[in-house]
Amino acid sequence: MSSRDAILGRVRRALADVRQDDTPYDQAIQRDYLREHGDRGVEETVDLLAENLADYRALVHRCTDEELPGVLARLLTGRGSRSVLVPPGLPASWLAGVDLPRVQDRLESTPHELDQVDSVVTGCAVAIAETGTIVLDGSPDQGRRRITLVPDHHICVVRVPGQVVSSVPQGLERLDPNRPLTWISGPSATSDIELDRVEGVHGPRTLEVVLVSGLPGDEVTS
């Protein structure tokens, strides 16, 4: 007998005392918890996102869509970056003011090559205000997971209020589990030394989030 059959057989024997119950799953579990915490307007939700991002040491900037190229140029220059990784579908206008070598992530690029790049600029799929989380789903403006991992400086552009939701349940509703997803809440950190939080281990040690209003594709969140 294969181990698969052995394990499944053991499970069935172990559950011999459990009575048969064919209630469909969506009726079997009562979900009495909240869909979001608190009662906020759209503006307040964006403010909460900014506050919680900053609380976990992300650097938060706010601007309009006209100001975005200037803000990105200033952030990259201010850091002294010499090169910037660019996902394939990043809107060209975003980096219009940036005069730095742009590195494309190709299928055959090695991690060592990506390690030579100073910064990366991406969009995001959704941002969750209550937890200060941005989620990347590998869309063309975000690229492969590794490009936001190996460089030490990540600038993430969030379209507000269109990409912002209040809560984790609302965030999951917007995401597609078939895409590779990365949830990011502040820069890399550890609590491994005396259970004290220290920022900056293997992922980007600097996370900058630019909240941009007025970009196309905006709709008011529920």
Partner 1 sequence: MSGTFVGMPAFPKAAHEAVNNTTLRGNLRHATHTIRAKRAKAVTEVSDWAALREAGKRIKDHTLRHLDRYLVQLEESVTRAGGTVHWAADADEANRIVTDLVKATGESEVVKVKSMATQEIGLNEFLEAEGIHAYETDLAELIVQLGKDRPSHILVPAIHRNRGEIRDIFTREMSEWGRPAPEGLTDTPAELAEAARLHLREKFLRAKVGISGANFMIAETGTLVVVESEGNGRMCLTLPETLISVVGIEKILPTWQDLEVFLQTLPRSSTAERMNPYTSMWTGTTDSETADGPRTFHLVLIDNGRTDTLADEVGRQALRCIRCSACLNVCPVYERAGGHAYGSVYPGPIGAILSPQLRGTASEIDASLPYASSLCGACYEVCPVAIDIPEVLVHLRERVVQGGQVTQQGSKVVLKPAKGHAAERAAMRAARWAFSHPGALRTGQRLASRTRRFHPRTLPGPGSAWSGSRDLPAVPAEPFRDWWQRTNGGKGEGK
Do 151 and 143 contact (CB within 8 A), yes or no?
Answer: no
Distance between CA atoms of residues 177 and 180, nearest Å? 7
In the complex with partner 1, the residue whose CB is nearer, 74 or 205, is: 205
**Burial class of residue 12, CB neighbours in 10 A (0-12, 13-18, 19+):** exposed
Distance between CA atoms of residues 105 and 111, nearest Å? 10
> Taking the complex as a whole, how short is the minimal distance between the CB of residue 99 and partner 1, in angstroms?
29
> Taking the complex as a whole, how short is the minimal distance between the CB of residue 198 and partner 1, in angstroms?
4
Interaction residues for partner 1, span 157-186 (CB under 8 A):
168-169, 172, 177-186
> Taking the complex as a whole, how short is the minimal distance between the CB of residue 67 and partner 1, in angstroms?
28
Interaction residues for partner 1, span 7-36 (CB under 8 A):
7-15, 17-18, 21, 25, 28-34
In the complex with partner 1, the residue whose CB is nearer, 81 or 188, is: 188
The DSSP 8-state label assigned to residue 194 in this structure reads T
Q: By CB under 8 A, is residue 39 in contact with partner 1?
A: no
Interaction residues for partner 1, span 53-92 (CB under 8 A):
56
Alpha-carbon torsion angle 115, 117, 121, 126, nearest 10: 0
Q: Quick check: helix, strand or coil at residue 52? A: helix
In the complex with partner 1, the residue whose CB is nearer, 54 or 73, is: 54
Task: Sort residue 79 into left (φ over 0), alpha (ψ -120 to 50) or beta.
Answer: alpha
Radius of gyration (C-alpha) of the chain in whole angstroms: 21
Interaction residues for partner 1, span 193-222 (CB under 8 A):
193-198, 200-204
Give the DSSP letter string of 74-89: HHHHHHT-S-EEE-TT
Interaction residues for partner 1, span 107-166 (CB under 8 A):
107, 110-112, 115, 128, 130-133, 138, 144-146, 149-150
> Taking the complex as a whole, how short is the minimal distance between the CB of residue 163 and partner 1, in angstroms?
17
> Taking the complex as a whole, how short is the minimal distance between the CB of residue 69 and partner 1, in angstroms?
27
> Taking the complex as a whole, how short is the minimal distance between the CB of residue 19 and partner 1, in angstroms?
9
In the complex with partner 1, the residue whose CB is nearer, 185 or 213, is: 185
Distance between CA atoms of residues 136 and 86, nearest Å? 14
Do 203 and 187 contact (CB within 8 A), yes or no?
Answer: yes
In the complex with partner 1, the residue whose CB is nearer, 162 or 203, is: 203
